[in-house]
Amino acid sequence: MTHFDIVRVDPRDHALVQSWLAAKEAVPAHDHRGPRPWSPLRPLTSLVAGTADARREPWAAVSDGTVIGFLDLAFTDLDNTHLVGFDVGVHPEERRRGVGSALLRLAEARAAHEGRTTLSAWITVPEPPEAPIGAQFAADKGFTRSLECAVRRCDLDQVDEAALDHLLEAAWAKADGFALIPFEGAPPEDLVEGIAYLHSRMYTDMPLGEWDLQEARIDRSRLLDLARLRRQRGELHLQAAMRHNESGAIAGYTEIIVEGGEDFHCYQADTIVDPRFRGYRIGTVLKIANQRRVREWRPKMRSIWTGNAVANDHMITINEAVGYRLAGLEHVYQKRIDTVPASALT
């Protein structure tokens, strides 16, 4: 049995941080070999920057000065206060020695200490499926798969731009009466409230399966706070909104995020259309327009990654039409917990 200690990651401890980053890189490199390349910038900046509505706790299992496992906990304090999101991993050379189990016990203990009742994690499975290491570990520990999602990649070098022209022309024929507004960074003042409202709808409109994710209210303050964090992380946030000309309402929204220092990979995040304005091909206009902006800003960009619930047939159809192809699976596993003895925290 390997002797190890579990400690909070202190951003002032250079050696610990570097070893922690190395462990976080080693796990996906060994287990996934494909879906979405790993970048150190987000975990690194998470040590010193965050948002006002959420707290993160990075933990590390350390043996002889080397990080052999990690646990990242995420607590939201304005909504979904019953939930703890987490990510856990063990260096491939240190598995089956009780490290992952100890980290998971800590996750459950911290959740119970905070009065939370549900733990959930995203677990990646490559395509074609190889040994689902994380999924099997979660199942063995009492977690159940609560939401099935698929990861897709758009290879910008392979996109048929002529086909997109025809698709966009047909979509605009249905979207007459709407205006496209592209922008980057914090939303313009006249868009903030509408975009915040649409972000809130992501918690209620997208398929959630059995995932215990509840409604959230994204308001102006939270939206601008997240924009501030993206600036601090050096991210390029490419966005587009559609405004209904007659009412002035923001009818739809989409976003692509390029992490700091990244020239070849980025990811498509939220896309949503207000239910009042569905059926006008707004999602198609938004996707194509914003996708084409990527290479205006990053000419070497090759891949855009995205994920959808497998039950989200409508959005998957749009994504396939604009060039996305299946690259892997990524599911939510969750577990409802009771109280945990305080001794588990030590």
pTM comes to 0.92
Provide the residue range defining the domain that includes 182: 159-322
CATH number at residue 24: 3.40.630.30
Residue 154 lies in a domain: no
| Same domain (yes/no): 166, 293 | yes
Helix 313-321 and helix 282-297: axis angle, to 10°? 50
Q: Which of 148, 28, 14 is nearest to 88 (CA)?
A: 28
Strand partners, 119: 84, 335
172 and 97 belong to one structural domain: no
> What average pLDDT does the segment 258-275 reach?
95
Identify which of 216, 212, 240, 230 has the alpha carbon closest to the alpha carbon of residue 83: 212
Average pLDDT over residues 31-53: 86
Please give the tally of structural domains in the chain: 2
| Structural domain includes residue 327 | no
Say if residue 23 is in the same domain as residue 104: yes
Which whole number is the average pLDDT over 307-324?
95
What does the mean pLDDT of the chain come to? 93
Are 178 and 288 in a shared domain? Answer: yes
Whole-number pLDDT of residue 341 = 47
Residue 24 lies inside a defined structural domain of this protein = yes
Q: Does 79 fall in a domain?
A: yes
How far is 274 from 252, CA to CA, in rounded Å? 6
Q: Provide the pLDDT for residue 135.
A: 84
Tell me: do 175 and 60 sit in the same domain: no
pLDDT in tens, 210-244: 999 999 999 999 999 999 999 999 999 999 999 99
pLDDT at 287 over 90: yes
Q: Helix, strand, or coil here: 285?
A: helix
Instruction: Flag whether 141 is in a domain.
Output: yes
Sequence length of the chain is 346
Radius of gyration of the chain (CA): 21
Whether residue 324 is predicted with pLDDT greater than 50 in this model: the reply is yes
Same domain, 109 and 164: no
Same domain, 210 and 239: yes
Look at residue 15 in the predicted model and tell me its pLDDT: 98
Residue range 267-296: average pLDDT? 97
Band (346; pLDDT cuts 50, 70, 90): very low
Say whether both 130 and 218 belong to one domain: no
132 and 14, same domain (yes or no): yes
Q: Is a pLDDT exceeding 80 seen at residue 342?
A: no
Query: Which tens digits make up the pLDDT trace of 7-16?
Result: 999 999 999 9
Q: Name the region of 286 (left: φ>0; alpha: ψ -120 to 50; beta: rest).
A: alpha
Please tell me the predicted confidence (pLDDT) of residue 204.
87
Considering the domain architecture, whether residues 318 and 338 belong to the same structural domain is answered as no
- Better-predicted residue by pLDDT, 139 or 235: 235
**Tokens of residue 1, six digits:** 């049995």
Same domain, 144 and 165: no
Please check whether residues 310 and 167 belong to one and the same domain.
Answer: yes
Residues 174-195 have pLDDT tens digits of 999 999 999 999 999 999 999 9
Q: What is the DSSP code string of 108-157? A: HHHHHHTT--EEEEEEEEESS----HHHHHHHHTT-EEEE-EEEEEEETT
Mean pLDDT is lowest, of 67-81, 120-134, 278-292, for 120-134
